[in-house]
Chains A and B, each alone.
Chain A
Amino acid sequence: MAKLIMTADDSASVRQMVAFTLKQNGYDVVEAVDGKDALNKLNVQKVDMLLTDLNMPNMDGIGLIKGVRAGALNKFIPIVMLTTESQDSRKAEGKAAGATGWIVKPFKPEQLIAVVKKVLG
Chain B
Amino acid sequence: MQLNSSVRENGEIIITSGDRLTIESASEFSRIVKESLETSYLVAIEFEPAVEIDITGVQILCSSCKSAAVSGKVFTYHGPQPQALAEIITACGAERHSVCKHNNEHTCIWFGGGK
A–B contact (CB under 8 angstroms):
yes
Which secondary structure dominates chain B's binding surface?
A: loop
- What is the number of residues of chain B that contact chain A, defined by CB distance less than 8 Å? 2
B24 at the interface (CB under 8 A from A): yes
A75 vs B23: C-alpha distance in the bound complex, in angstroms?
Answer: 10
Which A residues from 8 to 30 make CB contacts under 8 A with B?
Answer: none
Closest Cβ of chain A: how far from B90's Cβ, in Å? 14
A19 vs B23: C-alpha distance in the bound complex, in angstroms?
Answer: 28
Closest Cβ of chain A: how far from B22's Cβ, in Å? 8
Closest Cβ of chain B: how far from A119's Cβ, in Å? 14
Question: What residues of chain A lie closer than 8 Å to B23, measured between beta carbons?
Answer: 76
A75 vs B24: C-alpha distance in the bound complex, in angstroms?
Answer: 8
Q: Which residue of B lies closest to A76 (CB)?
A: B23
Question: What residues of chain B lie closer than 8 Å to A76, measured between beta carbons?
Answer: 23-24
**A residues engaging B (CB < 8 A)?**
75-76
3 A-B Cβ contacts within 8 A? A75-B24, A76-B23, A76-B24
